[in-house]
Amino acid sequence: MDRTLESWNNVVRTLSKVISSHPDKCLAVLSLSYHHLPNQLKACFLSMSSFPEDFQVETQRLIYLWIAEGFIRSSENGKSLEEVAMDYLEDLSSRNLIMVRKRRLNGEIKTCGIHDILREFCLIEAEMTKHMHVERIMVLVIFSKVLMFSSFPLVITKLFHLRYLQVPFHQNIPESISELQNLQTLICSGYSLESISLPVKIWTMQNLRYIRLWAATSLPSPRRESILNKHLVTRMPNLEEFSGLSCTSCTNEVFSGIPDLRRLIIQVPLLFDKYLPNEVMDISILRKLKAFKCYYWKHSWTMCISIKSSVFPTSLKRLTLSRCYLFPWEDISSTLIMLPNLEEFKLKDCKARDDIGR
């Protein structure tokens, strides 16, 4: 095409008409963009077809999938796998193959999506290349090492090579989950009025990288498992995210078993009425922690937290407190000034002691 203003104006006038009347031609044009991608980006791009139309894809969830599938095989220039995956995402965005929906305050992509026409191309290309199979009606995604279910079927614990498991579940996780020794990502979406528990044998799962649970979930101390099985390594050295950890499990024993944690979200169970202000929640042992969030699920004057009573690591970059009550404002400045790397601080639906009666 001639690189003139008139040529581009002609594209603007005719593009929508071409798309609606000649879908095959449109897909053929899109295939040019795809085939010019570097090989390491092609599989990442095709994976976008596994999400429904107009779905806002959370960046972290997408990265979990890419790593579980082996699309991000090694680090580059000393970067972590997550950092390499984020570079891939930015590359696809710069080529207009992935649309950025939201960005964080630091500029990182928070959610993204894909145009319907590009998704249709991904579906066709994925089927032709046998990259994956996407059931268009049931919204069930089947990757080579990834499964998403509507309930927790115990039979899946026989799938030894499974790396990514997503399932809605609101009960205690069965002990047999520990049989999935290659599992990297565990996502259980389901709410519970009371705290639910992970089995103590989860400490034997050395390859776990991400645990994301919607209900406040207790994590047993690794000491119990080490006593029962003296020769087992009771640590999760590769765990980078734990979302949904119950406040009752925030102990040095637990944190010492997950030393590489980078993101932590703790929750206070809905029916938890314990008074907290005199208890110190020390997370300073997590020296690689970058993001920390604390959630209460209901408003209660008996459930309060003092920011000073929580000891944070200096590596922290993002801090969020949600529904926290009765903390003095002066604690904020005295605590945050000790966090030299803090970039983002959020108070969501909180009420300081000084605000009572206002």
Confidence of residue 2 (pLDDT cuts 50, 70, 90): confident
What is the signed CA dihedral for 335, 347, 83, 244, rounded to 10 degrees? 100
> Closest Cα partner for 62 from 104, 112, 134, 119?
112
Weakest-pLDDT range from 8-22, 35-49, 85-99, 261-275: 8-22
Q: 14 or 265: whose pLDDT is higher?
A: 265
Confidence of residue 221 (pLDDT cuts 50, 70, 90): confident
Q: Which two tokens stand for residue 169?
A: 């579940």
Confidence of residue 149 (pLDDT cuts 50, 70, 90): low
Is 328 in a helix, a strand, or coil? coil
Determine the pLDDT at residue 24.
66
Main-chain dihedrals φ then ψ at residue 20, nearest 5 degrees? -75, -35
- Any idea which residue has 């926290």 for tokens? 324
CA angle at residue 161 from 76 to 200, to 5 degrees?
95
Q: 320 or 232: whose pLDDT is higher?
A: 320
Q: Which two tokens stand for residue 237?
A: 């050295």
Cα–Cα distance list, 39 to 48, 49, 93, 119, 190 (Å): 16, 17, 16, 19, 37
Pairing status of strand 109-113 against strand 57-58: antiparallel
> 173 with 196: CB under 8 angstroms?
yes
| Sign for the pseudo-dihedral over CA of 74, 202, 243, 185 | positive
Q: 354 or 100: whose pLDDT is higher?
A: 100
Q: Most confidently modeled of 18-32, 70-84, 133-147, 187-201?
A: 70-84
Mean pLDDT of the chain: 80
Neighbouring CB atoms inside 10 A of 224's CB total: 13
Residue 151 has pLDDT above 80, yes or no: no
Edge-to-edge strands, sheet with 57-58: 57-58, 109-113, 99-103
Q: Per-residue pLDDT averaged across 117-134, rounded? A: 76
Task: State the Cα–Cα distance between residues 293 and 245, nearest whole angstrom.
Answer: 10
Q: Per-residue pLDDT averaged across 172-185, rounded? A: 90
Determine the pLDDT at residue 230.
58
Determine the pLDDT at residue 17.
66
Determine the pLDDT at residue 138.
37
pLDDT digits (tens, 9 = 90+) for 293-352: 987 755 444 444 556 667 889 999 999 888 776 667 777 778 888 899 999 988 887 777
> 266 with 293: CB under 8 angstroms?
yes
Q: 76 or 91: whose pLDDT is higher?
A: 91
Confidence of residue 111 (pLDDT cuts 50, 70, 90): very high
Is 155 in a helix, a strand, or coil? helix
- Sorted by where each starts, the structural domains of the chain and their CATH numbers stand as 21-135 (1.10.10.10), 140-355 (3.80.10.10)
Q: Per-residue pLDDT averaged across 38-57, rounded? A: 88
Is 272 in a helix, a strand, or coil? coil
> Closest Cα partner for 41 from 73, 68, 2?
73
Q: Would you give the DSSP letter of residue 304?
A: B
Q: Most confidently modeled of 19-33, 69-83, 224-238, 321-335?
A: 69-83
Weakest-pLDDT range from 136-150, 236-250, 306-320: 136-150
